[in-house]
A = this chain, B = another copy of it.
Amino acid sequence: MKLNDWLNNEIPNIANSLVDVHSSYFSIEKTIGFAGQQKVYTILENFRNALFPCLCDKFPTFDTRVNIGIGNKLRSSALDLKDLIEKVVSNENNVANNDVTLDADQIVMDLITKFPDIRNTIQTDIQAAYNGDPATISTEEILFSYPSILAITIHRIAHELYKSGVPIIPRIMSEHAHSLTGIDIHPGATIGEYFFIDHGTGVVIGETCTIGKNVKIYQGVTLGAKSFPLDEHGNPIKGIKRHPDIEDNVVIYSGATILGGDTKIGHDSVIGGNIWLTQSVPPNSRVYQTQPSPKIKND
């Protein structure tokens, strides 16, 4: 068979060549690889099952065994997470400040300890979805079918790791959420309780954004950067405040774009659909554009 013979002859050289190319850019020993990426997804699934325990996960369990099931998931995923953290920091290119030594054990302990608090906060997000959407009467429906809840659950976990200085893993988590929901929240963003995103596809929330309590956002909203300064080599300077601040009780309708690190949306404001906003607005503002009236022609 033509292809089979060719593969037997050529594949060793091509494989060598691919290893050569890859290892000229990446340290093969120090990368977590796609296997590590997949393991992050499994950890998230286990954490999610622990945060929302029930009697019917995978195999039916009964009453008092629920917490044993949760415990086992938490324990094994905690240890996996510790290993991954140690792996990503073993590559010095991943770490902004090489002076800081991360204590992976402590970081994982801190995260797990916060889980009951995180769970309570997510309940406020579920309540916000219930309050904000006439299409549902059931918090269970919200838990199992609202992309906002999946995205914010993952965000609230990833954000803790981001604050602890863990590289890469928080972004793998947030991109996993993005892939599943179309909602792209950078793990650096600070988000208050009672947060709700309706529909969600196309939402982008940047790294240095802060969002207050009880904020509601619709699909296609960007909270982004206006522009960013370059260093002497023409590369963007990392770590500068470049995304807006949204205060409490703000509603932002679909397709609105709010840009800039010194843009602040005052509390209790409403930002209309498709608005393009690069300036601050005071509290209690109603921001809208005179939409060009559509021209209607009849054949």
Q: Which residues of A approach B to under 8 Å, CB–CB?
A: 2-4, 6-8, 10-12, 14-19, 21-22, 25-26, 28-29, 31-37, 48-58, 66-68, 70-71, 74-75, 78-79, 82, 88, 91, 93-94, 96, 104-105, 108-109, 112-113, 115-116, 119-120, 123, 126, 131-141, 143-147, 167-168, 171-172, 174-175, 178-182, 184, 186, 188, 199, 201-202, 204, 206-207, 219-220, 222, 224-225, 228, 234-240, 242, 254-255, 257, 272-277, 281-299
Contact = CB atoms under 8 A, between A and B. Distances in A.
Contact of A78 (B3, B219, B222): B3
Contacts of A220: 202, 220
B299 A286 contact: yes
Contacts of A254: 204, 222, 224, 257
A5 B279 CA distance: 52
13 contacts: A3-B104, A7-B79, A25-B123, A32-B144, A135-B207, A136-B171, A145-B174, A147-B175, A178-B182, A273-B276, A274-B274, A289-B292, A290-B292
A167 B216 CA distance: 25
B184 A119 contact: no
A70 B15 contact: yes
Nearest to A283: B298
B140 A26 contact: yes
A201 B182 contact: yes
A296 B234 CA distance: 25
A85 to B, nearest CB: 11
Contact of A204 (B68, B96, B201): B201
A242 to B, nearest CB: 7
Contact of A286 (B14, B26, B29, B297): B297
A175 B202 contact: no
A35 B59 CA distance: 8
A228 to B, nearest CB: 5
Contacts of A257: 254-255, 273-274
A296 B290 contact: no
A31 B54 contact: yes
A136 to B, nearest CB: 8
Contacts of A28: 53-55, 66
A61 B222 CA distance: 43
A36 B57 CA distance: 8
Contacts of A37: 144-145
A19 B66 contact: yes
Contact of A179 (B2, B68, B147, B202): B147
Contacts of A31: 54-56, 140
Nearest to A91: B140
A71 B2 contact: no
A22 to B, nearest CB: 5
B36 A74 contact: no
